[in-house]
Chain A
Amino acid sequence: MVIKTPTIPEIQEAVKAQPRLLCRAGGSKQALSGADGSVTLDVSGLSGVLEYQAGEFVFTALAGTPLLEIEKMLSEKGQYLPFDPPLADAGATLGGTVAAGLSGPMRWRYGGVRDFILGVKFVDGEGSLVRGGGRVVKNAAGFDLPKLMVGSLGRLGVLVELSFKVFPAPQATRTLRVAFGRLEEALEACLRLAASAIELYALDFEPPAGLALRLGGLEKALEERSRRLWSFLGKDGELLEGEREARYWRGINNFGWAGGKPLVKVALTPKKIAGLEAALLHSSNPLPSSTRRYHAAGHLLYMAWDGSWTELDTLLKTQGLAGLVLAGNPLSPALGINSAHPFGERATRALDPQGKFAR
């Protein structure tokens, strides 16, 4: 059963009445919002910006608001979402982005979705409409429920309203793509850059041995900064500018490179990359390395996967990693090491005592 475009009181009613519920909006992360027999709350109608004063660099919008709409609104004022959420063109919404906990390449510069969320309003497992955080950039009152909702996959409540802080967009950007001979060399350069004073908007590792580096800032300093970056690397590369550069990153962030294959997010640290790449190469159905993309100096991997979910689950476990399936049909979207702990279990019981959102 699907409950279409409910109002907030209707969501509360539904939570009280139904034994199990699943929430969806844009449907851009099909593995997380696909029908599983529960009643589906389609909140895509819960859309619209409630408050945005450009001078405040803060906005509040309903959870079903498409990212595209927000990006458009912000760019008109020279602002942007610094966590650079993926799948905007696929119809991703603000709420879905928070629930899935997804950030994109530019999260490298200032942080991910967890670092920019300020406030949240949601319906908890008992149907109460509750609020956490606030609408100002700094706030230490009460528990940080907004952060808790990041990556919660709708299991702690139905998100209805979200507040974010935003930043001024860089006046200009340009990108340098550099190819290295070996994976180790590329990773070494990546780590060196990450620990350097050179400030990049995106620092991507493109297996097997490439880096994509996005610089941003004042137009007039960019030329000299690019030269400096070049000399830091001691290497030439391909320079992307203007429309071409924007298209390139847009493509990256809509996962066009995954070729429509099932898609997985993996959280990791740079030192795990070499081992993981080797393991993937030796898996039973290896995909070309162009179907993987490491953002944020190797802290965030999005990868296509065409093999069995059990195999990937085991593979990630062996590497000591956890993953989240965004597209595909696994038994459970959570793969790899099990990070369940009594703190999470206890807090979940408080938010959803009857397990209405459990999956």
Chain B
Amino acid sequence: MSKEVLQELSKLLPAGRLLTAAAALSPYQSDALTAFKAKPLAVALPESAGEVIETVRWCAKHQIPFVARGSGTSLSGGSLPIDGGLVIGLNRLNRILKLDPKERVAVVEPGVVNLDVSKAAAPFGLYYAPDPSSQPVSTIGGNLAFNSGGAHCLKYGMTSNHVLGAKVVLPTGEVVELGGESLENTGPDWLGLFVGSEGLMGVALEIKLRLLPKPEKYHTVLAAYDSLEKAGSAVAMVVASGLLPGAMEIMDSLAIEAAEAAVQAGYPQDAKALLIVELEGETLEVEAEARHLSEVIEASRAYKVQIARNEAERAKIWKGRKAAFSAVGRLSPDYIVQDGVVPRSKLGQALSEIEKLSLRYGLRVANVFHAGDGNLHPLILYDGRVPGELERGEELAGEILKLCVALGGSITGEHGVGMEKKRYLPAMFAEADIELMRKIRQSVDPHELSNRGKMFPGGEAEALVRQGLHPLEKRGVISRE
């Protein structure tokens, strides 16, 4: 890379918005999956859509791979820099361009933080529904790229179900409008393809979001169980009862311990499992459903039931749940967050299999999951300083993913494939499936510039600095030399 080429880029950006010094680049080396690190060529911090377009065109012209990122909270390494590539930091594009309470649409820039959309909509009695645990931090652009989920996906779906349209710069530098402001469209759902494509097909510049009226009433129940199985079957019972809660979450004892230490949510410390069920909607309906729900919970043999009496108590229950991932950092120097899905009826089976795996590998596993969706988040605790633990942890993580697929589920419910799971994509899809996806990508991005090296197994640019050898490397199957 010649100096002149970078010089050319710096002229496209406001002064000081192209970072090249080692100390400025270093903090961009990882996202929220620190097992992967890579040092980018530079970090561009554009302040307008026009500057993003110019930056992408510069990348296209010089065939420099790039990754667009917001707050870098990906748990799958999705916003990991590309070695020698450009990082396009979109945090400064953080304006809410339009908020139309009447039509319930917000048009935002990609760097707008998820929760800020709801904050801006709150005075109108509206909110933005998808609520990944990272919502005070993560940006809409990143949510869109990874089709982020959250605790409240059961009823109203994931990010993809709430994005109406997007203006996108393709990796070739072309700018397109996908979708619109209507809930409906005619013709193929190109927007549906773009959302969740993990940044492999371009950068969203403006995003049209659907806002929902804030539910009039929440009914949040915290039920404690003396076994994980009972909590699991309670979920099945709630679903079978015909109720459609906004969220159903389970935490096991390790996760409870961590969350309690972090935010003092008031969880019963002796519980083997906690179930959070939240009904939401019209007051009259929720009140009627609540009576129904309490019968079900009673029948599920919860030994302690707590119902949030006000918003503060509700917030407290959720705070513990949402802090659970990071809180596990208190229990163990290192851990791997996994994200797999199983059919809901197989939750119990999956959990007992995970427990067996945990014993076999000699590593503790904390479980926090979106039970209503069958979306598991096993957190595998290990100590990276103990030789072999990381490798064992990774192998265990892999086993869990294979288990999910074997049970008819998925290798990822909401964190995406990114860097972390690309080698497991073939466990879920046949060669022809992956081949077609790759063809679509190459057709849109012929030089594979946009977030190169992610999602697809193998391929080029797996230039990573990792902690220790990958299990496959150790067995001599792959090599990164």
Contact = CB atoms under 8 A, between A and B. Distances in A.
Chain A partners chain B: yes
A149 interface: yes
A143 B437 contact: yes
B187 A153 contact: yes
Given A78-B242, A225-B284, A350 B410 contact: no
Residue of B156, B161, B374, B433 ringed by the most chain A CB atoms within 10 A: B433
B188 interface: yes
A124 B282 contact: no
Contacts of A234: none
Interface stretch (B6-14, B56-64, B82-90, B167-175): B167-175
A238 interface: no
Given A148-B193, A221-B285, A131 B444 contact: no
A111 B161 contact: yes
A334 B188 contact: no
A41 interface: no
Residue of A78, A132, A167, A217 ringed by the most chain B CB atoms within 10 A: A217
A334 B375 CA distance: 39
A218 B408 CA distance: 33
Given A131-B430, A168-B244, A339 B285 contact: no
A282 B155 CA distance: 42
Nearest to A347: B440
A303 B425 CA distance: 44
Nearest to A198: B282
A55 B170 CA distance: 42
A248 interface: no
Contact of A195 (B104, B413, B442): B104
Given A225-B285, A343-B178, A271 B103 contact: yes
A303 B416 CA distance: 40
B182 interface: yes
A135 interface: yes
Interface stretch (A17-25, A262-270, A285-293): A262-270
Contacts of B288: 217-218, 220-221
A163 to B, nearest CB: 11
Nearest to B413: A138
Nearest to B241: A168
B185 interface: yes
A56 B284 CA distance: 28
Contacts of A221: 284-285, 287-288
B410 A134 contact: yes
Interface string A286-311: 00000000001001100000000000
Interface string B176-216: 11101111111111101111110001100000000001111
A268 B182 contact: yes
A155 B188 contact: yes
Contact of A138 (B194, B282, B414): B414
Contact of A142 (B158, B174, B429): B429
B345 A343 contact: no
B160 A195 contact: no
Nearest to A324: B186
A239 interface: no
A110 interface: yes
Contacts of B37: none
A351 interface: yes
Contact of A218 (B160, B285, B370): B285
Contacts of A103: 184
A137 B341 CA distance: 9
Nearest to A267: B184
A147 B22 CA distance: 42
Contacts of A136: 341-343, 373-374, 408-410, 413
Interface residues of A, number: 83
Contacts of A148: 188-190, 192-193
Contact of A145 (B172, B193, B409): B193
Residue of A147, A221, A267 ringed by the most chain B CB atoms within 10 A: A147
A197 interface: yes
A156 B188 CA distance: 9
Contacts of A349: 443
Interface in A124-179: 124, 128-132, 134-145, 147-153, 155-156, 167-168, 171
Nearest to A322: B186
A344 B414 contact: no
B36 interface: no
Interface stretch (B145-153, B224-232, B359-367): B145-153
A57 interface: yes
Contact of B185 (A115, A171, A267): A267
B417 interface: yes
A235 interface: no
Contact of B104 (A141, A194, A217, A343): A194
A343 B170 contact: yes
B192 A147 contact: yes
Nearest to A266: B186
Contacts of B243: 168
Contact of B415 (A58, A140, A217): A140
A231 interface: no
B147 to A, nearest CB: 5
Contacts of B282: 197-199, 217, 225
B425 A140 contact: no
Contact of A343 (B168, B184, B215, B442): B168
B436 A350 contact: yes
A342 interface: yes
Contacts of B436: 124, 128, 130, 145, 350-351
A101 interface: yes
Given A136-B374, A350-B440, A228 B244 contact: no
B161 A296 contact: no
Given A135-B408, A144-B192, A53 B341 contact: no
Nearest to A134: B410
Residue of B103, B181, B183 ringed by the most chain A CB atoms within 10 A: B183
A28 B442 CA distance: 36
Interface in A90-142: 101, 103, 107, 110-112, 114-115, 124, 128-132, 134-142
B124 interface: yes
A217 B285 contact: yes
A167 to B, nearest CB: 6
B450 interface: no
B434 interface: yes
B411 interface: yes
A291 to B, nearest CB: 19
Contact of B192 (A150, A218, A299, A341): A150
B455 A152 contact: no
A130 B455 CA distance: 18
Given A141-B421, A344-B190, 5 more contacts: A143-B197, A198-B282, A199-B285, A225-B282, A225-B284
Interface of A: 53, 55-58, 78, 101, 103, 107, 110-112, 114-115, 124, 128-132, 134-145, 147-153, 155-156, 167-168, 171, 191, 194-199, 217-218, 220-221, 224-225, 228, 265-271, 296, 299-300, 322-324, 334, 339, 341-344, 346-351
5 contacts: A138-B341, A141-B429, A148-B188, A342-B174, A343-B176
The 6 closest A-B pairs by CB, nearest first: A147-B192, A197-B216, A267-B184, A350-B443, A221-B288, A299-B183
